Amino acid sequence: MGYPIVLHLRGRRAVVVGGGKVAARKVYGLLEAEADVVVIAPEAVPDIEALAAKGEIVWRKKTFAEDDLAGAFLVIAATNDRNVNEAVAQAATPGQLVNVVDDPERCDFHVPAVVRRGSLTIAVSTEGASPALARRIRRELEEQYGEEYGPYLQFLRKARDIILREMADDAARKQLFRALAADSFRQRGRWDEELAQLLANEKERNGERGRES
């Protein structure tokens, strides 16, 4: 079974070999993670052409050669030619993370189906058993966790900073974090107001404890 992790790719080079629809899907995911994306392909779908024209990726309009992998942190072999994909995997050095879109056995990692809502990422993997099921579940999760989770996560991050700064008691902090994560809290929508109230209550309780001792 694979070990799920979230890679930090900002400023790191990701080389995608191939310029078809599968490559384009991987490119979009890599751009969301702010990787420096380089595509190697003699021909590419319009999405990839457009991204290259806007300067959001580099497209080397050529067939794959070993030296295309120089400086890559992550490599995706996404051509429609099994032999080329195999050659890409062979050319990678041991430290480079490799995904081969038509050969799960050759992969250091596979790519899950993903829902993103600001800082919230929900990833679904079937380990290659059924990418179509991963896609279906991703769509269901998109319904369940709507766009409103983006601003909610922003609030939670800010609240967490405040709580860590202002509250010393571990147990009380934990209780507060859980209260803010409750769906009923999210749905009421009065996040800042309720946080201020909860912090004030906690300060008052502390004050009382101080006077008791």
Ligand X SMILES: C[C@@]1(CC(=O)O)C2=NC(=C\c3[nH]c(c(CCC(=O)O)c3CC(=O)O)Cc3[nH]c(c(CC(=O)O)c3CCC(=O)O)/C=C3\N/C(=C\2)[C@@H](CCC(=O)O)[C@]3(C)CC(=O)O)/[C@H]1CCC(=O)O
Ligand Y SMILES: NC(=O)c1ccc[n+]([C@@H]2O[C@H](COP(=O)([O-])OP(=O)(O)OC[C@H]3O[C@@H](n4cnc5c(N)ncnc54)[C@H](O)[C@@H]3O)[C@@H](O)[C@H]2O)c1
Contacting positions for ligand Y (CB under 6 A): 17-23, 40-44, 63-64, 78-81, 84, 101-102, 131
Distance in angstroms (rounded) separating the CA atoms of residues 176 and 198:
8
Min CB(15)–ligand X separation in Å: 15
Min CB(3)–ligand Y separation in Å: 20
Q: Which stretch binds ligand X (CB under 6 A): 53-61, 127-135, 189-197, 202-210?
A: 127-135
Q: Which two tokens stand for residue 72?
A: 């890559």
Tell me whether residue 90 is exposed, middle or buried, using C-beta atoms within 10 angstroms of its C-beta: 0 to 12, 13 to 18, 19 or more: exposed
From 29, 37, 75, 88, residue interacting with ligand X (rule: CB under 6 A)? 29
Distance in angstroms (rounded) separating the CA atoms of residues 115 and 118:
10
Min CB(66)–ligand Y separation in Å: 12
Min CB(67)–ligand Y separation in Å: 13
Which of ligand Y, ligand X, none lies near 19, with the C-beta cut-off 5 to 8 A by kind? Answer: ligand Y
Please measure the distance between the N-terminal and C-terminal CA atoms of the chain and give it in whole angstroms. 54
Quick check: 111 binds ligand X (CB under 6 A)?
A: yes
Q: Which residues of 181-202 are buried (b: 16+ CB within 10 A; e: fewer)?
A: eeeebeeeeebeeebeebbeeb
Half-sphere exposure at residue 69, Cβ-oriented, CA atoms within 13 angstroms: 22
Quick check: 118 binds ligand X (CB under 6 A)?
A: no
Decide: 163 and 177 in contact? Cβ < 8 Å: yes
Quick check: 106 binds ligand X (CB under 6 A)?
A: no
Cβ closer to ligand Y: 23 or 195? 23
Q: Give me the residues that bind ligand X (CB under 6 A), please.
A: 25-26, 29, 99, 101-102, 104, 110-113, 125-132, 134-135, 138
